[in-house]
Structure 1
């Protein structure tokens, strides 16, 4: 129980420190450096040592960390885990200033498939990356986080919409611009506000002008263990920072195998970017680890990828939305996700490997298959499998309220998946005899 409590307390600290993908990667870098991992620059030559531990960051929002501890990758392959750093949210538009009826608001764009209703009446803050010009004329970037509540999206009172509980829908252009403050005039300059905040957070930045930004609103309510018996973990961004944290902790526990963790950005919007799973980042890193094309193909044939992304737990109020035989329960173990139309990359062989491993370490396993009459989501699993030709499995922690501003998981499942991935990283072989 002490180990479980320590795991969940550290998980909540990670979630609280990671309001955006940029902050999540920064937090992961700090933890990797503390564990002795060395930074690599993609613009420079790499001199990798046989026992080395390394990481590389792209765009500040995606990261790959790996260790060469298991001998030749050509002979032993890689144990790889993949996740993603982004979550559905509200992103600030380039020209966001809205002055209406004495209130200053910021125009926002919905990022990903956000569940919008829960964003109303929340204490919101703002964080992300800003790019600025210094007094010397250089262009730099920095992370920014207001941390305290600075905005809110108030609901319309039911007295003004008597059918709200029956018919209210949300227009993302009109209904969700957050209110930031009262304003006497329309002279507010959002970039000037950002400059003041940057100087407050980083007095030595020498910033003279904000040129651009990528900023997300987020809920300031911290993660919490809840429930009468403390059964549940409630937090923002469990999809998919929960998997990022689990993958990182599992990687840091590895001491004798070739292990790799990739946390891509932009999964929630299709993964098609320079730092997304449908981009070249992972392949280019693997090609630099194993430069010879034939040897890399051999290494990948001896490798396996576990794509870790949350699964839909069966909701007691909406049990009919699940296939009756495939309704994962919270606190009953990680969920292998299966879709024969290749929305998930799991096949019978990769599933057998993980099920066998779970039996060995006594971790419970569940299965998820979407109802046949419903559309199925997807993950970075099929994208990575098709891009690299590596055998892949999709797995995740069961959760409620996926894509809400606050999601719910069981307190045991994250630790179960950590145990499973830590054991996976230690496997001497992922070959399947035919």
Structure 2
């Protein structure tokens, strides 16, 4: 895949993946098209050599892998990890709010959301709805309104003279989006709106809405930005960018070596779930693939945890260590923290640097300022669960956890090229 094609396809992937369920569905379609075979955790597995497989849990996490030509216990596995979720506003179970003829929905803040950018945006709504259909069966249905359906209006500065100097956001009272105006006495429920949307999208006739997991998102599509188109702006770059890079690397790499991609849900809230990185999902897949030889396979394996990094912001340069300020379009960032907020060690970093140098590609390093706290990733969690040598790396970006984020057009493709080579290397450790 060439550079320009890679970025154009990335934009399509981002736009088709407004929620973790849609992201996994998009990845499933691409894996199916590439000849990968879906596995069901309830069934027996019979795995062939040099074949691609994938497993989905909860519809929002996925493990995809190629078995390779050799015995996995002696070849090891080249693993890449990312996460499907992003900070957002999720609809509450009993969300309807009617005030002065406005129909609004109560929302819950998911993850470490940068709240101010959510105001005055065209918002759409997507996610998973669990319903009882006309045949009396409980079914899941994905919905995506696709068009702007909601708005969170700011309070005018005339009514809040300190808005530019002392503004705070109360998530309970300030964030319910406005969806429409309704006449007095209107009894339209949110469940009614969901039933109508499901019928429109899939033709499914719903007897009752039993539950849902729905998120508001920025309705504006991903786009190239800059006088020379050197940036990409989009929602959910953290961390759908890494999901896309990992997927394209797995699909592009040769079938000779055992390689795996895991994209977990719930990283933004700690990863403790059945399908999160602290849960047993990946470990269960490896048990069934490797059997009694799992420990030997892990000892020969390496995990690259890909999650975006903080690029040095030209307006806030003092927020970075003076020797570790990653620049956009100057290469992926090796993330290091000796307190194990990142899982990188000198050996795993060396593996990446060596491959990158062989390909003539740039790379950078990041260490958080010693007087600031450090975020984390699925890297240390996965390393601790599996006992696998792990590297934390990511594309540098601006506006992390905002409703719209910014990356350079060069860095994603650079990481794709290195991960593709990593996944097809005969020996990585």
Match of 2:230 in 1: 231
Q: Is the 8 A contact 1:271 1:279 kept in 2?
A: yes
Q: In structure 2, which of residues 372, 383, 386 is the aligned counterpart of residue 388 of structure 1?
A: 386
Correspondences of 1:35-434 after superposition (within 5 Å): 35-185=34-184, 187-203=187-203, 205-255=204-254, 256-292=256-292, 295-431=293-429
1:5 to partner: Cα distance: 1.1
Conserved 8 A contact 2:81-2:305: yes
Q: CA contact under 8 A between 2:90 and 2:213: conserved in structure 1?
A: yes
SS of 1:332's partner is coil
Determine the C-alpha separation between the residues in 1 that align with 2:315 and 2:69.
Answer: 48
Shift of 1:188: 2.8
Aligned partner of residue 294 in structure 2, secondary structure: helix
8 Å Cα contact 1:111/1:269 also seen in 2? yes
Structure 1 position 97, deviation (Å): 0.2
Per-residue deviation, residues 280-315 of structure 1 (Å, max 9, x unmatched): 0000000000111xx110100000000000000000
Q: Are the aligned partners of 1:240 and 1:310 in contact in 2 as well (CA < 8 Å)?
A: yes
Alpha-carbon deviations, 1:19-51, whole Å to 9, x = none?
A: 000000000000000000000000000010112
Per the TM alignment, residue 427 of structure 1 is displaced from its structure 2 partner at its CA by 1.2
Q: Distance in 2 between matches of 1:72 and 1:411?
A: 38
Note if contact 2:76-2:298 (Cα within 8 Å) is conserved in structure 1: yes
Shift, 1:70, TM fit? 3.6
What is the CA–CA distance in structure 1 between the aligned matches of 2:148 and 2:425, rounded to whole Å?
46
Aligned length: 427
- TM-score norm. by structure 2 comes to 0.99
Cα distance in 1 between the residues matched to 2:361 and 2:267:
28
CA–CA distance in 2 between the matches of 1:346 and 1:362? 22
Q: Does the CA-based 8 Å contact 2:308-2:393 persist in structure 1? A: yes
Give the CA deviation at 1:192: 1.2
Per-residue deviation, 1:135: 1.3
Report the Cα offset of residue 187 of structure 1: 2.3
TM-score normalised over the length of structure 1: 0.97
Tell me how far apart the structure 1 counterparts of residues 123 and 133 of structure 2 sit (CA, whole Å).
Answer: 29
SS, match of residue 22 in structure 2:
helix
Contact 2:130/2:138 (CA < 8 Å) preserved in 1? yes
Residues 339-392 of structure 1, C-alpha deviations (whole Å, 9 max, x = no match): 000000000111011111110011101000000000000000000000000000
CA distance in 2, matches of 1:38, 1:408: 35
Residues 63 and 263 in structure 1, CA contact (< 8 A), matched pair in contact too:
yes
CA distance, structure 2, for counterparts of residue 35 and residue 101 of structure 1:
53
- Matched position secondary structure for 2:165: helix
- Note closer, same or farther for the CA distance 1:342–1:88 as it changes in structure 2 (3 Å cut): same
Deviates more, 1:236-245 or 1:67-76: 67-76
**1:98 is paired with a residue of what secondary structure?**
strand
Cα distance in 2 between the residues matched to 1:419 and 1:191: 46
Deviation at 1:138, TM superposition (A): 0.7
Q: Aligned equivalents of 1:118 and 1:356: distance in 2?
A: 40
8 A contact 1:97–1:188 mirrored in 2: no
**Could you say which residue in structure 2 is the equivalent of 1:10?**
9
Checking the alignment, whether the CA contact within 8 Å between 1:17 and 1:24 is kept in structure 2 is yes
Q: CA deviation at 1:209?
A: 1.3
CA contact (8 A) 1:70 1:76 kept: no
User: Could you say what secondary structure the match of 1:165 adopts?
Assistant: coil
Shift of 1:430: 1.8
Gaps of 5+ in 1: none
What's the secondary structure of 2:85's corresponding residue? coil
CA distance in 1, matches of 2:379, 2:280: 15
Q: Secondary structure, in 3 states, of the residue corresponding to 2:421? A: helix
Query: Structure 1 segments of 4 or more deviating over 3 A?
Result: none
Question: Retained in 1: the 8 A contact 2:195–2:205?
Answer: no
